Amino acid sequence: MRYWLMKSEPDEVSFEDVLAAPQRTVAWFGVRNYQARNFMRDQMQVGDGILFYHSSCALPGVAGVARVASTAYPDASQFDAGSPYFDPKATPENPRWISVDVTAVAQGRYLPLTGLRGVPELEEMVLLQKGSRLSVSPVTPGQWNKILEMAGIEAGAALDTAA
């Protein structure tokens, strides 16, 4: 099992939106960075843990825990000319961008970005590195466990639910 941090703008899809969705599951769409896409396409597996992160908002931070609920599939928004994620170079025969489904698992205390900085166990976290802007990044087991502890989510319960 791997762990990931996935950023979403809460005015587009918030963790609360995922909790309210049927089966608490939504498609993760709109990723337009090749490295983030490659993580989703080549390394993510069903059951992997996700730190659901609210970005581009007044108080960015970890909003909840989710899990990967599907294998990668073509992101439909790349084919929709009315979508801000439209890609004229993508075709159904040769899609450039992918989605995965994510399912909400647990919501603990909201962990603002400012509260993550300075935590020794998180110093190497991709999110906290200068210039890091990836919307999908790997998280180590130690970082995962520290975030769950800080959020007040029992690690064993989150892992059992996410598996």
Residue 153 domain-assigned (yes or no): no
Does the pLDDT value for residue 158 go beyond 80?
A: no
pLDDT digits (tens, 9 = 90+) for 102-149: 999 999 999 999 999 999 999 999 999 998 889 999 999 999 999 999
Residue 14 domain-assigned (yes or no): yes
- The confidence band for 163, taking pLDDT boundaries of 50, 70 and 90, is very low
CATH for 107: 3.10.590.10
- The confidence band for 154, taking pLDDT boundaries of 50, 70 and 90, is confident
Surface-to-core class of residue 100, CB atoms within 10 Å of its CB (0-12 exposed, 13-18 middle, 19+ buried): buried
Q: How confident is the model over 1-22, as a mean pLDDT?
A: 97
Q: How confident is the model over 17-35, as a mean pLDDT?
A: 96
Total domain count, the chain: 1
Residue 109 domain-assigned (yes or no): yes
Residue 158 domain-assigned (yes or no): no
- The confidence band for 162, taking pLDDT boundaries of 50, 70 and 90, is very low
Residue 102 domain-assigned (yes or no): yes
pLDDT digits (tens, 9 = 90+) for 37-74: 999 999 999 999 999 999 999 999 999 999 999 999 99
Provide the pLDDT for residue 150.
97
Provide the pLDDT for residue 157.
59
Give the domain range for residue 43: 3-143
- The confidence band for 18, taking pLDDT boundaries of 50, 70 and 90, is very high
Residue 161 domain-assigned (yes or no): no
